């Protein structure tokens, strides 16, 4: 932690500027909806925005928690396999997560690890509901989450942010910004640790409750190092280079003979990120950008119990992902009333599973264009299209169109967008047997899979002034060719089928066959999601900001038997509420922040463990900034997470929506130089 060493400022000295002040605006700059910077009020595509200042005001150091508490359309189910994300009823495979507009990889069984992102370096988070494949390609079926990171500034700065909660949940962030003439540097380091916790100490097995050491939330330790350089050789040309390293290891309870719930190994994950590119400004005509992004993600087992050929402390690599993305993009202003975007993208993705001798990759090439035209004083039209071609999969064409009517402070928008999701490498090519906890699964991919396709229709009404905004969005999202899978117990197969599998996978003889199943991917399912969202924000008096958001999502999927049922893990009603108050007296600044989330039950149709009950959870945080020191500011904070001590105490094999350990007192300290 950065230690304050300067003395108190003398009375005649001007206090230093308080960093990261909470200056809320109801009309921020956004980029995700149209691929170019526009004011939120003017963009034809509605976007939800969370600023980095809002995250820090609420002491939300975990991105998953921040999105849960502030975006009602999102929900998460954390597990040993990462965080299972849903957006308006659609699964994590249908939501594209971007960092500075580039795809984030690093998934475990399809669950992206958001711990790779240093929350303290976030400038803002933009959330776009609905299909967005025209600009962003595959996976943008249900929506896009674009995390915009801070850029280096022309001012030397250093900061430290620390927070501590119950269960030894500790976060420490360090940042250093250095201007060096035409070169600027921003360095960030984030350390996070949790002991994990149990709410219930029992699990249900064969109708009986038995003790367990399994945790509801697993313990972990992670480190995240981020570096960004910018170089501006001229007024028109700007260059950058990024690098990042992330390491995380789980801390599961070790397997014991006297009680269930332990594990033979912990899981370690590691990722490397590197990127470079530049922007050349064409004066008033627009600009051209060229970007390259590379990512590498790996996963290992670290054995706590001697197993097979592995001794205690041995590592076994289980997965490696590689991602390369090159994009050439131009934004032109051919007239005062229009904007035009063109782009070309090449992408390479690979997946390796060493123990299963699996090594596959996919190449893709994309071209897209979009034109925005303002006409007849009050209207703006946006049309776009994208063409993608995939190695061995084929091609896709995705159009979109939006019409906006604006007059004074009122906007009305109507939009159509087509989305698609190309089959993943695992869904196409898996032909392997792998352990899944105490079970084993033989998975067969399907190289004949078709891409999933969605058709999104939305209508938005919005009223926005400098102190009040209100919007209502209604939508329909129809998906076809959904990729699903069937699973059959090995013991239910015929003797001939069992023998054929044993011939192909001799290791079947070394496992308990009652725990073995066979999984096969295929195209079948369809899904329809209908819903609406209401967003309200206001600044009724100086220093007080209020916001309330409500989402209704009714999602149905077509089951194997031809009937329609609720989408798995979907939530119908969700609301979030935020109140923030800021007041300054000379060298002292007070910030009080209240966040709440109210959620109805989570559906698990056909699951023997039933639905997960709804919940409400409220957090209160106060921060106190002192700028009376010479050369630095000091911001201690105290707060309460889960004020009303809501906990789900059911047995651990139940379906959960709330993972909180209960009421927790939070202390934090920020030092800014």
Q: For 266-311, what is each residue's pLDDT tens digit?
A: 999 999 999 999 999 998 899 999 999 999 999 999 999 998 889 9
Tell me if 17 is assigned to some domain: no
Q: Would you state the pLDDT for residue 108?
A: 56
pLDDT value for 437: 61
Q: What's the pLDDT score for residue 79?
A: 60
314-332 pLDDT tens trace: 999 988 999 999 999 999 9
Q: Average pLDDT of the chain?
A: 88
Q: Can you list the alpha helix ranges (DSSP code H) found in 392-551? A: 425-429, 495-504
State which H helix or E strand residue 69 sits in: helix 63-70
Which is it for strands 48-51 and 169-180: parallel, antiparallel or unpaired? unpaired
Enter the tokens of residue 218: 């697993």
Query: Would you say residue 263 lies in a domain?
Result: yes
Q: Are strands 95-99 and 102-103 parallel, antiparallel or unpaired?
A: antiparallel
- DSSP class per residue in 613-624: PPEEEEEEEEEE
Supply the pLDDT for residue 139.
86
pLDDT at 641: 93
Query: Look-up: residue for tokens 């959960």?
Result: 656
Cβ contact 527:545 at 8 Å: no
Please count the CA atoms within 13 angstroms of the CA of 493 that sit on its side-chain side: 19
| Rg, the chain, Cα only | 26
Residue 580 lies in a domain: yes
pLDDT tens digit string along 140-188?
Answer: 888 899 999 999 998 999 999 999 998 789 999 999 999 998 999 999 9
DSSP state of 16: P
Residue 16 domain-assigned (yes or no): no
Candidates 268, 289, 358, 362; CA nearest to 323 is 362
User: For position 16, what pLDDT does the model report?
Assistant: 44
Can you tell me the mean pLDDT for 377-401?
91
pLDDT higher than threshold 50 for residue 3 = no
Q: What per-residue confidence (pLDDT) applies to 12?
A: 36
Residue of higher predicted confidence among 240 and 484: 240
pLDDT above 50 for 5: no
Report the alpha-carbon distance of residue 437 to residue 653 in Å, rounded. Answer: 13
The greatest distance separating any two alpha carbons of the chain, rounded to the nearest whole angstrom, comes to 91
What is the domain count for the chain?
1
Closest CA to 463 of 25, 26, 23, 24: 26
Q: Which two three-digit tokens encode residue 79?
A: 């597990």
* pLDDT tens-place string over residues 62-108: 788 888 888 888 888 766 556 678 888 888 888 888 988 888 876 65
The token duo for 420 is: 């698609």
Domain that holds residue 264: 29-208+234-672
Distance CA 196, CA 217 (A): 5
The C-alpha atoms of residue 664 and residue 216 are separated, in whole angstroms, by 16
Q: What is the pLDDT of residues 583-606, one digit of tens each?
A: 999 999 999 999 999 999 999 888
Give 644's DSSP letter: T
**pLDDT at position 399:** 95
Listing DSSP states for 193-244 in one string gives EE--B-S-SEEEETTEEEEB---SB-EEEEEEEEEEEEE-SSSSEEEEEEEE
Q: How confident is the model at residue 1 (pLDDT cuts 50, 70, 90)?
A: very low
**Residue 371 located in a structural domain:** yes
Model confidence at 20, pLDDT cuts 50, 70, 90, reads low
pLDDT confidence of 202, banded at 50, 70, 90? very high
> Rounded to whole angstroms, how far apart are CA atoms 360 and 75?
31
**What is the CA angle 102-107-111, rounded to 5?**
110
The two three-digit tokens of residue 172, written as one number: 């420490």
pLDDT band (50, 70, 90) for residue 4: very low
Q: Which residue has the higher pLDDT, 514 or 611?
A: 611
The residues, ordered by sequence, that sit 6+ positions from 323 with a Cβ below 8 Å of its Cβ are 103, 105, 293, 294, 295, 296, 297, 347, 348, 349
**Angstrom distance (rounded) from CA 480 to CA 526:** 5
- In this predicted model, which residue has the larger pLDDT, 46 or 329? 329
The pLDDT value recorded for residue 147 is: 92
Most confident of 55-59, 373-377, 427-431, 650-654: 373-377
In whole angstroms, what is the distance from residue 433 CA to residue 315 CA?
19
Q: Indicate if the pLDDT at residue 435 is higher than 90.
A: no
All residues at 6 or more sequence positions from 474 whose CB lies less than 8 Å from its CB, including other chains: 458, 459, 460, 531, 532
Dihedral sign for Cα atoms in the order 303, 306, 307, 311:
positive
Would you give the DSSP letter of residue 92? Answer: G
Residue 218 included in any domain: no
Q: How many H helices and E strands in the chain?
A: 5, 38
Residue 431 lies in a domain: yes
Backbone angles phi, psi at 272, to 5 degrees: -125, 140
pLDDT score of 81: 55
Per-residue pLDDT averaged across 133-145, rounded? 89
Residue 222 lies in a domain: no
What CATH number corresponds to the domain at position 160? 2.40.170.20
């Amino acid at each position: 932690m950065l230690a304050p060493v300067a003395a108190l400022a003398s009375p005649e000295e001007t206090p230093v500027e308080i960093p990261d002040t909470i200056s809320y605006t109801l009309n921020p700059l956004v980029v995700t909806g149209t691929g170019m910077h526009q004011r939120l009020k003017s963009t034809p595509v509605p976007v939800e925005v969370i600023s980095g200042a809002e995250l820090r005001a609420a002491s939300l150091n975990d991105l998953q928690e921040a999105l849960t508490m502030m975006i009602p359309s999102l929900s998460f189910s954390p597990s040993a396999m990462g965080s299972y994300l849903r957006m308006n009823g659609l699964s994590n495979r249908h939501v594209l997560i971007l960092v500075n507009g580039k795809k984030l990889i690093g998934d475990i069984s399809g669950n992206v690890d958001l711990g790779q992102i240093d929350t303290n370096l976030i400038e803002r988070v933009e959330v776009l509901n609905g299909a967005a494949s025209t600009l962003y390609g595959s996976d943008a079926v249900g929506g896009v989450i674009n995390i915009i990171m801070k850029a280096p500034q022309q001012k030397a700065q250093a900061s430290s942010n620390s927070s501590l909660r119950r269960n030894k949940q500790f976060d420490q962030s360090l940042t250093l910004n250095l201007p060096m003439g035409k070169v600027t540097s921003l360095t960030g380091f984030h350390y996070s640790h949790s002991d994990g916790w149990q709410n219930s100490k029992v699990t249900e097995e064969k109708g009986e409750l038995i003790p367990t050491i399994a945790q509801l939330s697993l313990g972990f330790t992670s480190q995240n190092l981020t570096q960004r350089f910018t170089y501006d050789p001229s007024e028109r040309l700007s260059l950058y280079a990024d690098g990042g390293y992330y390491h995380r290891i789980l801390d599961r309870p070790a397997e014991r003979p006297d009680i269930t719930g332990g594990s033979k190994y912990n899981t370690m994950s590691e990722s490397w990120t590197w990127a470079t590119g530049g922007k050349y400004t064409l004066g008033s005509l627009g600009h051209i950008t060229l970007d390259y992004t590379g990512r590498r993600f790996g996963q290992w087992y670290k054995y706590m119990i001697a197993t097979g050929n592995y001794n205690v402390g041995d590592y076994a690599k289980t997965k490696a992902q590689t991602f390369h993305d090159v994009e050439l993009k131009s934004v032109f202003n051919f007239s005062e009333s229009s904007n035009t975007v063109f782009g070309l993208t090449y992408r390479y993705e690979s997946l390796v599973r060493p123990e299963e001798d699996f090594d596959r990759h996919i190449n893709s090439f994309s071209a897209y264009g979009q034109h925005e035209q303002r006409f007849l004083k009050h209207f703006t039209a946006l049309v776009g299209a994208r063409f993608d071609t995939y190695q061995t999969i084929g091609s896709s064409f995705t159009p979109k169109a939006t019409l906006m009517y604006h007059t004074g402070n009122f906007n009305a928008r109507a939009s159509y967008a087509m989305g698609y999701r190309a089959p993943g490498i695992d869904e196409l090519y898996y032909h392997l047997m792998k352990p899944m906890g105490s079970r084993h699964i033989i998975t067969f991919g399907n190289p004949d899979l078709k891409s999933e396709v969605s058709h999104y229709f939305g209508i938005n009404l919005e009223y926005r002034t400098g102190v009040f905004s209100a919007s209502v969005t209604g939508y329909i999202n129809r998906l076809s060719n959904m990729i699903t899978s069937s699973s059959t117990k090995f013991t239910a197969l015929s003797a001939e089928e069992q023998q054929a599998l044993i011939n192909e996978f001799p290791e079947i003889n070394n496992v308990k066959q009652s725990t073995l199943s066979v999984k096969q991917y295929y195209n079948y399912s369809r899904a329809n999601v209908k819903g609406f969202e209401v967003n309200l924000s206001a600044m009724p008096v100086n220093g007080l900001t209020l916001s309330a958001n409500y989402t209704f999502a009714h999602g149905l999927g077509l089951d194997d038997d031809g009937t329609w049922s609720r989408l798995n893990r979907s939530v119908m009603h969700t609301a979030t509420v935020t109140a923030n108050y800021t007041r300054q007296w000379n060298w002292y600044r007070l910030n009080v922040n209240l966040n709440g989330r109210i959620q109805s039950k989570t559906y698990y149709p056909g699951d023997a463990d039933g639905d997960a009950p709804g919940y409400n959870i409220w957090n209160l945080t106060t921060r106190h900034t002192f700028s009376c020191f010479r050369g630095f500011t000091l911001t201690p904070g105290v707060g309460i997470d889960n004020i009303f001590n809501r906990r789900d105490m059911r047995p651990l094999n139940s379906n959960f929506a709330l993972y909180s350990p209960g009421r927790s007192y939070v202390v934090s300290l920020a030092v800014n130089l």
